[in-house]
């Protein structure tokens, strides 16, 4: 796709000479961002599903919130948390992609948010070690994903458990956002006891079809969360049950409330 490659290189070149974009996300909120982030940020205004996701995020955010942003990418929800949480809000961004982290840092700098945010470049899973991942590159927004089958073009990245990360950073989340492209099974299964103890509000993007392609049952994640004390699941601002989630093959953006 030469056109996308050209756009990607052009956006990086524009940033190199000091160019930033301004995205009007809502009528009341605009953000400054790296040119590579512009289209990703605009989706939260133009795409109905992502606009509803943002509405839900703001509904359950509160002043002084401490957001653990797992799969932070270019930092959109970090900036949204700081907008909702005010001067005492804090965010811990977790992101395995070095190229996404470069854009994330630029976006925080552009919005004067560096002091309130810590970044840890790692993947999160069920244990500390390394993980083989694929990079989506310029065509996919520099995301990193766990392949659904064995591949020869993966790279090794650092992976940590949620418990290990929180012990090292001393971060105490009131809210956790998880969007890790189908690896949420390993993360949440291992973190059940920790979630039960901390009871943060959980924003969770379930990638049901990807999970099933990896041989994982997404319904097990919901069972795990119930055992951790989460008894209310909201999707598109409506309460949903397992049957409703199953009808969408567990491809859904959830707010999980303890």
User: Residue 199: CA atoms inside 13 Å, Cβ hemisphere, count?
Assistant: 7
Tell which CATH classification among 3.90.1150.10, 2.40.40.20, 3.40.50.150, 3.40.50.2300 matches the domain 48-257.
Answer: 3.40.50.150
Where do the domains of the chain lie? 48-257
With both helix axes pointing from N to C terminus, report the angle between 38-46 and 76-85 in degrees, rounded to the nearest 10. 60
Entry pTM: 0.94
Q: Which residues, 6+ apart, have CB-to-CB distance to 121 below 8 Å?
A: 95, 96, 98, 101, 158
User: Rounded distance, CA 80 to CA 176, Å?
Assistant: 13
What pLDDT, in 10s, does the model give residues 182-232? Answer: 999 999 999 999 999 999 999 999 999 999 999 999 999 999 999 999 999
What pLDDT, in 10s, does the model give residues 89-139? Answer: 999 999 999 999 999 999 999 999 999 999 999 999 999 999 999 998 877
Quote the mean pLDDT of the chain: 94
């Amino acid at each position: 796709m030469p056109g996308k490659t050209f756009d990607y290189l052009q956006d990086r070149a524009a940033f190199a000479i000091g160019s930033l974009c301004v995205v009007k996300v809502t009528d009341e909120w605009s953000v400054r961002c790296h040119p590579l982030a512009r289209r990703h940020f605009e989706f939260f205004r133009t795409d109905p599903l992502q606009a509803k996701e943002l509405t839900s995020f703001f509904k359950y955010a509160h002043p002084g919130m401490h957001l653990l942003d797992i799969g932070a990418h270019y930092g959109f929800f970090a900036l949204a948390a700081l907008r909702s949480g005010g001067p005492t809000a804090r965010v811990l961004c977790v992101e395995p992609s070095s190229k996404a982290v470069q854009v994330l840092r630029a976006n925080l700098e552009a919005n004067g948010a560096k002091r309130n945010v810590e970044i840890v470049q790692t993947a999160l899973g069920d244990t500390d070690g390394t993980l083989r991942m694929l990079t989506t590159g310029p065509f996919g927004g520099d995301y990193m994903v766990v392949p659904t089958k064995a591949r020869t073009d993966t790279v090794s990245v650092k992976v940590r458990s949620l418990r290990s990360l929180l012990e090292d950073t001393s971060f105490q989340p009131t809210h956790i956002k998880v969007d890790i492209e189908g690896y949420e099974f390993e993360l949440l299964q291992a973190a059940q006891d920790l979630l039960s103890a901390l009871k943060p509000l959980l924003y969770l993007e379930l990638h049901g079809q990807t999970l099933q392609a990896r041989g994982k049952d997404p319904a097990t994640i919901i069972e795990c969360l119930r055992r951790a004390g989460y008894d209310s699941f909201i999707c598109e601002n409506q309460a949903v049950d397992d049957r409703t989630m199953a009808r969408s093959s567990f491809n859904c953006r959830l707010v999980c409330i303890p």
